[in-house]
Structure 1
């Protein structure tokens, strides 16, 4: 797996960013949500890239909605994405008791408990919905938990982010074969591991599978892990209750995720993401170019209807 190029940002810039996170960590969630509601429409208006990708994605997955409905959803989605960014300091640096109290309820915990009682590991598919850093906090507070980690573009922020994600006991492993080996070992110990199911992998590490009826390049790591460990798969999200906190949901996975055929399993993974999004579509990070590699495949075929995406 390739790594992101590191940024040339100065140590001072990194300190300023970390300092801002510490300030935001001391703020109430109600204030952070009010700031997000102010900033979200500004992002929609002035950030062309986020606005256009969000609106194109929404047009593809919700063609039955009117343009006005999709614009409203896009503005609301960007407000939630902004809230997630503002809440990073809270998830990583706020006093643990505050973060724990912000988790108002947990649905579906029995899916994890039952699997571990049976001596099975648990693979948590954690899409970019709500606040996935709060989900990481809860999982690592309550279970032995391992997740893949790719260092940030700004190298000087790496120890800050790593500390925030590991502070409740999570084990972070690299996004390479050594990291995959660590996930396998954790699952064989009947522990929980986290996987991001909605990031496009590098070429050679995925297959094309339907996502809202359109092909999207999807990682094939999951069937490899299931085949070697017989782990249970669940989808996990931390849904934001604006200004108040979060409700964590663990959802039963689509049964296709257990298929040995990689394309069938990937279709099940995408169905799991769709089920999570259905909880509240505005809380999904629609500004991610989920269909990018399809477009790369279509280069040279500008008459294809998908070519206009992005």
Structure 2
């Protein structure tokens, strides 16, 4: 579909904003995110409602006031992540590298790579995953899947930002999976976003904070074909200072030959990363939109949907 004039204008505006913000420091970007969040919150009704619903599910015993505070903090961090994209993709490389002031668990990643069977980094939507990509591609031969943005004119800008330190981006299709397999067989590192809901037929239901979540079976397939080692990686924001990278041992179930068990291990690994600081996870994503009832063709599956119109309305009242 040809790019419309409106899309080109939108893309130019976004690209211009990224260029402008690329010159800011993490401290300045965090300060700006606090002010901007207060301005944007009344307009982010869907994001706020989804966040509240997700938090009610994953932290059912948390007092309502604490859930509300966590929801507000989560929105602040999500705003900060958006503002930091220009910094991560276009900022001076030495300055971005200097903003990573702590690295924890690097030994786990090194051991995984030295096994000779490749290393798979599970990188959930926590903190600033673009900073994690920057560090990984700067320090290792690194391959990651990439899905082009809806605003097509932004594609070359985002690709250039993610690949500028040597990362190799591959499409989210069979060709991309083949490229990941080749990289692993060369003993290299690959990155996977483990908390995106795949299309029907590409996943299984596995518990995520006790609720069934449709989870991609890509990781079990890669492990079965390569015996690669798995590590969870995140870039935790240290507000006003920079970032701390954490590499955590994946749940041992990820190595199971049973895909459902392996996916349960993937979700448990994501839970372990979230525990570092729950406010830095992207709770506004509809992680539970698919249901087992829908998969099996139950005509009443809608009553089991978390993000029903009724639940969204109730969540908005409690913002």
Q: Please give the TM-score of this superposition, normalised by the length of structure 1.
A: 0.95
Query: Partners of 1:32 and 1:214 in 2: how far apart?
Result: 35
Matches within 5 A, 1:167-182: 167-182=164-179
Q: CA deviation at 1:118?
A: 2.4
Q: CA deviation at 1:119?
A: 1.2
Which of 234, 237, 257 is matched with 1:237 structurally?
A: 234
Query: Partners of 1:140 and 1:258 in 2: how far apart?
Result: 25
Q: CA deviation at 1:213?
A: 0.2
Query: Partners of 1:120 and 1:111 in 2: how far apart?
Result: 14
Aligned to 1:80: 77
Tell whether the 8 Å contact from 1:32 to 1:87 is kept in structure 2 after alignment.
Answer: yes
Query: Partners of 1:279 and 1:197 in 2: how far apart?
Result: 17
Aligned to 2:281: 284
Query: Partners of 2:240 and 2:190 in 1: how far apart?
Result: 29
Tell whether the 8 Å contact from 1:6 to 1:152 is kept in structure 2 after alignment.
Answer: no
**Structure 2 regions of 5+ residues with no counterpart?**
313-319
Q: CA deviation at 1:117?
A: 2.1
Matched residue count:
306
Q: Secondary structure of the equivalent of 1:83? A: helix
Tell whether the 8 Å contact from 2:290 to 2:305 is kept in structure 1 after alignment.
Answer: no
Q: C-alpha deviations, 1:111-159, integer Å up to 9, x for none?
A: 1211222212000000000000000000000000000000000000000
Q: C-alpha deviations, 1:14-61, integer Å up to 9, x for none?
A: 122111101001112111111111222344333110010000000111
RMSD: 1.7
Q: CA deviation at 1:301?
A: 4.2
Aligned to 1:163: 160
- Say if 2:244 is the partner of 1:247: yes
Tell whether the 8 Å contact from 1:43 to 1:78 is kept in structure 2 after alignment.
Answer: no
Aligned to 2:32: 35
Change (3 A) 1:7 1:73: farther
Query: Partners of 1:34 and 1:307 in 2: how far apart?
Result: 32
Quick check: 124-133 or 7-16, which moved more?
Answer: 7-16
